[in-house]
């Protein structure tokens, strides 16, 4: 069983890169399940129903999110109707949408759990460590592979989390910082891990945001409206994880591709 995980999709450039990668290399990788983080997939901030359907049309099995999940007002109205667009599970139960779900693919049951860290993030959410404990009791006898998108700012919190869930989750991947880390590994033969998968977006930008729009904050201490970087060479980051017949991770490979804008500008997605 092979799972492909794609880091934060940043707007239209990120969606184009995803489509390009899947069309040119998807069959060769022979993956059976595809997870993407889509919280920035619509204009760089949030996700719309149209973009959700676009990602599904590309063959995405599960879409995770994070702190930007509510940036588009319409998300509140449609996320509760979906089973494969997840929001962090440590939001209160009064919030619409699912924080986890179990998917069956090729006879394999895959539990995907979406969690958000607390450090430098939203302090009003439930503790993600304890949220995992609760959810794990529900999925441990109903799934073969447990996957966690841990959407968090602090690398220390991410590393503490994976060691806490080691042996219970078979794959933990970090998102949110948009910068890929080079620490992909399998911990004690039990859990595949990377601190941050990275983003799919314009490379020479400020984590996907137009450079000049971010400058006032750094030069004057004034935060103005950010705009996504729309053109330029696009970096694509992903993680490929292979599991054996007993559903233990046996191989983890970090993937990075750079697409010239000329390769992507004619792609419609």
- Domain boundaries in the chain? 2-264
The predicted-structure confidence for 93-139, as pLDDT tens digits, reads as follows: 999 999 999 999 999 999 999 999 999 999 999 999 999 999 999 99
H/E element, 156: helix 155-165
Instruction: Give the span between the Cα atoms of 147 and 136, in whole angstroms.
Output: 11
pLDDT for 225 beyond 90? no
Q: Are 39 and 231 spatial neighbours (Cβ–Cβ below 8 Å)? A: no
Of 80, 151, 85, the C-alpha closest to 115 is 151
H/E element, 163: helix 155-165
Instruction: Give the span between the Cα atoms of 110 and 253, in whole angstroms.
Output: 19
Q: Which pLDDT score is estimated for 265?
A: 87
The predicted-structure confidence for 131-166, as pLDDT tens digits, reads as follows: 999 999 999 999 999 999 999 999 999 999 999 999
List of E strands, 133-233? 145-151, 171-175, 185-187, 191-194, 199-202
Fold for 2-264, please state it.
Purple Acid Phosphatase; chain A, domain 2 (3.60.21)
Of 64, 68, 5, the C-alpha closest to 37 is 64
Q: Which residues pair with 101 in a beta bridge?
A: 112
Q: In the structure encoding, which two tokens stand for residue 57, read together?
A: 């049309």
DSSP state of 134: H
pLDDT for 224 beyond 90? no
Give the position of tokens 């690398």: 155
Between 254 and 230, whose confidence is greater? 254
The predicted-structure confidence for 45-57, as pLDDT tens digits, reads as follows: 999 999 999 999 9
Cα Rg of the chain (Å, integer): 17
Does the global pTM surpass 0.75?
yes
Q: Among residues 68, 151, 176, 178, which one is catalytic?
A: 68
Give the position of tokens 């004690």: 188
Catalytic residue at 176?
no
Of 143, 241, 114, 224, the C-alpha closest to 186 is 241
Instruction: Give the span between the Cα atoms of 26 and 38, in whole angstroms.
Output: 19
Instruction: Give the span between the Cα atoms of 239 and 51, in whole angstroms.
Output: 22
- What average pLDDT does range 60-83 have in this prediction? 97
Angle at CA 240, nearest 5°, toward 238 and 245?
160
Instruction: Give the span between the Cα atoms of 116 and 106, in whole angstroms.
Output: 29
Instruction: Give the span between the Cα atoms of 230 and 92, in whole angstroms.
Output: 34
């Amino acid at each position: 069983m092979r799972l492909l995980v794609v880091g934060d999709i940043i707007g239209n450039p990120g969606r184009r890169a995803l489509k390009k990668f899947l069309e040119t290399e998807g069959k060769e990788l022979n993956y059976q399940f595809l997870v993407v983080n889509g919280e920035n997939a619509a204009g760089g901030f949030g996700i719309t129903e149209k973009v959700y359907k676009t990602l599904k049309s590309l063959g995405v099995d599960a879409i995770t999110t994070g702190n930007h999940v509510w940036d588009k007002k319409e998300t509140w109205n449609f996320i509760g109707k979906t089973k494969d667009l997840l929001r962090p599970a440590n939001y209160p139960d009064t919030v619409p949408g699912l924080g986890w779900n179990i998917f069956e693919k090729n006879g394999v049951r895959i539990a995907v759990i979406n969690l958000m860290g607390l450090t430098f993030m939203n302090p009003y959410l439930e503790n993600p460590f304890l949220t995992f404990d609760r959810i794990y009791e529900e999925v441990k006898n109903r799934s073969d592979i447990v996957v966690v998108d841990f959407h968090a700012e602090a690398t220390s919190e991410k590393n503490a989390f994976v060691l806490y869930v080691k042996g219970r989750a078979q794959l933990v991947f970090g998102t949110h910082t948009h910068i890929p880390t080079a620490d992909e590994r399998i911990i004690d033969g039990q859990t595949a891990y990377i601190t941050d998968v990275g983003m799919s977006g314009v490379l020479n930008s400020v984590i996907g945001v137009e450079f000049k729009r971010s400058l006032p904050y750094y030069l004057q201490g004034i935060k103005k409206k950010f705009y996504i970087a729309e053109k330029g060479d696009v970096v694509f980051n992903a993680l490929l994880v292979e599991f054996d017949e007993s559903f233990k991770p046996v191989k983890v490979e970090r993937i990075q591709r750079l697409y010239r804008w000329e390769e992507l500008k004619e792609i419609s997605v």
